[in-house]
Amino acid sequence: MIDVHEKLSMAQALNRALRDAMADDPSVVLFGEDVGALGGVFRITDGLTAEFGEARCFDTPLAESGIVGMAVGMAMNGMRPIVEMQFDAFAYPAFEQIVSHVAKMRNRTRGRVSLPMVIRVPYAGGIGGVEHHCDSSEAYYAHTPGLHVVAPATPADAYALLREAIAAPDPVVFLEPKKLYWSKEEIEFPVRAPGIGTAVVRRAGTDATLIAYGPSVPVALEAAEVAASEGRSLQVVDLRSIVPFDDETVCAAVRSTGRAVVVAESAGFAGVAAEIAARVTERCFTSLAAPIRRVAGFDIPYPPPKLEHFQLPGVDRVLDAVDDLQWEQ
Q: What's the per-residue H, E or C state across 163-219? A: HHHHHCCCCEEEEEEHHHCCCEEEEEECCCCCCCCCCEEEECCCCEEEEECHHHHHH
Give the whole-angstrom CA distance, residue 253 versus residue 260. Answer: 9
Q: Residue 271 pLDDT > 90, yes or no?
A: yes
Domain boundaries, the chain: 8-189, 200-323
Instruction: Specify the pLDDT at position 286.
Output: 96
Q: Are 50 and 86 in contact (CB under 8 A)?
A: no
The pLDDT, as a whole number, for residue 326 is: 75
In angstroms, the CA 213 to CA 273 distance is 10
**Residue 307 per-residue DSSP state:** G
Q: What is the pLDDT of residues 159-199, one digit of tens each?
A: 999 999 999 999 999 999 999 999 999 999 988 888 899 99
Which of the residues are catalytic?
A: 133
State residue 328's pLDDT score. Answer: 59
pLDDT in tens, 27-82: 999 999 999 999 999 999 999 999 999 999 999 999 999 999 999 999 999 999 99
**pLDDT, tens digit, for every residue of 261-270?**
999 999 999 9
CB 219, CB 318: distance < 8 Å = yes
Architecture of domain 8-189: 3-Layer(aba) Sandwich (3.40)
The model's pLDDT over 92-130, given as tens digits with 9 standing for 90+, comes to 999 999 999 999 999 999 999 999 999 999 999 988 888
Which of these, 39, 59, 57, 55, lies nearest to 47 by C-alpha position? 39
- Has domain 200-323 been given CATH number 3.40.50.920? yes
Asked if pLDDT for residue 224 goes beyond 60, the answer is yes
Taking each helix axis as running N to C, give the angle between helix 155-167 and helix 10-24, from 0 to 180 degrees, rounded to the nearest 10: 30
pLDDT of residue 129: 83
User: What pLDDT sits at residue 329?
Assistant: 45
For residues 282 and 303, the model is more confident at: 282
